[in-house]
Structure 1
Amino acid sequence: MTTVDAALRVASTVLADAGVPSPEVDAELLVGHVTGLDRGVVRARAVTSAALTADEQEALVAAVARRASREPLQHITGRASFRRLELFVGPGVFVPRPETEGVAQLAVDALRAVPEASPVAVDLGTGSGALALSLASEVPTASVVAVELSPEAAVWTRRNIAAVGVDNVRLVEGDLADALPELDGLVSVVVSNPPYVPTGMVPRDPEVRLHDPALALYGGEDGLDLVRALSLTAKRLLRPGGALVIEHGERQGGAIRDLLTADGWRSPATHPDLAGRDRATTAVR
């Protein structure tokens, strides 16, 4: 018989030896995944040395082995937490990151500040739908359009829209460069987490390098090809005074501010994430 506390110790050691950045947390989440329990209950059962069933033990060994191979935790559990949401994720879609939650907050704040009763917001390159669904669920008076080019990612977007159950968001499959001409001049907020990794800069973490789709990662030689397209599309979509929110890499803020200024945007400003790294740039149409 294996107890929860013993299983956590073994799993944490295996994951730490494999270089997983947060082995104790991941061990708790994997035990929760195989037992169907949330993390707090897992901790409580560890204190009381509650037993795992044989099936749970077998499932945990397999799950820990997958995580030790640096498969993303979210691919193993099939879920990713994002703000108030639990999203379905897996192969073919970019796993939303905690730092993007702050980007969502900038967009939510901008959308809440719009004086219209039913403002329109657009998420360009939505992936799992994390940003679009945050806007739709947190600003229920808004109408949100999520745009996604990848058919593989769009499968997850549709699944998450259905799971969250909001009726004020819709998915449009297509390229952000020529998206939504019918909304030209009618949108109040455009938000995007575009591909921004320079082509020659291979991500260090195996979870990203081996498992996130290349289409969601790489943005050309300097990482800004999609940002250039995004700037033009957003300028076309937004009404005067509308807000643009772009996520980017920590060293790209200055270049993006220059790009937006050259395109005629007003008040470009770069904002840090909770770790103090530049993470998003905003501008006004």
Structure 2
Amino acid sequence: MTTHDTTETQGVRLAAGDAELTVLPESGCRIGSLRIGGTEVLRQGAGFGSFPMVPWCGRVELGRFRDGADVHQLPVNAPPHAIHGTGRDTAWRTARTDGTSAAFTYDLAAPWPWPGRVTQIFDLAPDGLTISMGIETIGDSFPAQIGWHPWFLRNLGRGGEDVKIHFDAAWQEERGADHLPTGNRVPPRQGPWDDCFGMPDGVDVTLTWPGELELKVTSRCEWVVIYDEQPEAVCVEPQTGPPNGLNTLPRLVTPIEPLEAATSWRWRGLGPRSV
């Protein structure tokens, strides 16, 4: 069933097979819920679920970034840095919804220095979800990033084991004491993690709740942040550049070339406790 009620409690609901997705456009166009076979897989509550990171991902050093000779100041919402963009704090417009897919938009505005439009599309299938996002400029070119920040439950609450995370990265961005990449690339290290990894062939991370569910996160993006320092949930965050990338690896949105990215989640049940 699909509804155009975009309240925090109702949102836009999509369904395919035994998968049910709720998107909350009024709350940063985040996924409020993903239920597979009746089991919730995302951490619930304000600020959780899965939110878009746009027009930047992760931390921006001291909230400042340079575009040519101009220095721009963003709100410092994770002192001493700015973090995760403005999209998650903005009400988005519902452009369309048809039961298994939906599209949403919002217009970039202050404190972001340039006008532009962001579009996010959700396509739900019985065995997976694809999320696409794009940024287009309405005027001048500007640097930007796209990413997603899902909070997957560490334990599905059905008496099974905690989730296992498996990935094979080409490198790890060395993290400084300020939680920003130092610019050095080091061999991947053991967790716990709040770290960015490089995957030049595309993000490919598998989450396994033994005997219950396997969920694979993939993307053509070349960076992923893995965060597992909280007891309730783990995060697998595909993104188009590393944290602080507005300063270190700017990706331009131009009048003839928008910035576009997508991520897919594919799942299957496992064993006798299969979700």
TM-score normalized by the length of structure 2: 0.26
- Point out the structure with max Rg over C-alpha: 1
TM-score normalized by the length of structure 1: 0.25
Larger strand percent: 2
Larger helix percent: 1
Asked which structure has the greater RCO (Cα within 8 Å, sep 6+), the reply is: 2
